[in-house]
Amino acid sequence: MLLSFKRTKSIIRDVLAKALKVKLICDTMVYVRLKGGVAMRGGFGFDQGPVVVGDGIKKYMTLVYNRMFMALCVTGLVSFICTSNQEVLAFLFGGFSTVLMLATIGIVFYLSARIGKINSEAANALFWLYSALIGVSISPMISLYTGESVTVSFFTAAVFFGGMSFYGYVTKKDLSGVGSFMMVGLFAIIITSLINLALGSSAIQMGLSAFGVIVFCGLTAYDIQKIKKFYDANVDEETLKKRAVIGALGLYLDFLNIFISLLRLLGDRR
């Protein structure tokens, strides 16, 4: 019975980790839709022209980072509340986390399809709801590791994210090739992870976690550069606010995946 429970927790942990990666793919679909002009007809165009660095774009990037930071705070607070309550954890380990996973993916798909039509307040509300649900859904996985491991992994992820974010912001090099390469790596991680569900190899899992850190660090730099291209001084403030939500969502997922990969790579189990 104990072995079965441990196996169940292991499977849930793997599914949750892959769910985060799937949501990053969903988030990428938002950019594909905007870049391809699908949302442009709704008045939410994508400008691929050169980025002009000035007060406007600095304020815009600050708006993006603030939303991302607030979402991480919501996720952290909700996760802390859930992991502190054994009854809630037992409920989540019972399978409800799968429902939450589907709900969060649904929110990202909805934002992808409707971002050009909903207002910025609705977009923000969906983002806060999304981050809260993520906090609940990752709680079972977080509960498997010591508090020290979670703290160390978080701050290490912050260092990696901050460094790659800075590089993506200041570099003059076009990172489109890097982004494409990292997306190929992301799909490779997902496919290998699914195969490893059957194999149950801890060595493969460790390798995937290490590779995941590299992939999501690369995606961080790529996404920062892409977010800058969202900025357009000629569009109205409402559109910029919605673009800030989309940008914050991408960075939020990048950071969260770096953190999860580091936790699985370096974390000590309880």
Q: 94 falls in which pLDDT band (50, 70, 90)?
A: low
Map the chain to HEC letters: CHHHHHHHHHHHHHHHHHHHHHHHHHHHHHHHHHHCCCCHHHCCCCCCCCCCCCHHHHHHHHHHHHHHHHHHHHHHHHHHHHHCCHHHHHHHHHHHHHHHHHHHHHHHHHHHHHCCCCCHHHHHHHHHHHHHHHHHHCHHHHCCECHHHHHHHHHHHHHHHHHHHHHHHHCCCCCHHHHHHHHHHHHHHHHHHHHHHHHCCHHHHHHHHHHHHHHHHHHHHHHHHHHHHHCCCCCCHHHHHHHHHHHHHHHHHHHHHHHHHHHHHHCCEC
- Integer Rg of the chain from CA: 18
Q: Residue 94 is encoded by which pair of tokens?
A: 């019972």
What is the model's pTM?
0.78
Of residues 51, 60, 112, the one with CA closest to residue 241: 60
* Per-residue pLDDT tens digits for 154-177: 999 999 999 999 999 999 888 888
* Per-residue pLDDT tens digits for 207-216: 888 999 999 9
pLDDT for 9: 45
pLDDT for 95: 65
Our CA dihedral for 22, 23, 28, 32, rounded to 10 degrees, sits at 90
Share of the chain above pLDDT 70, in %: 78
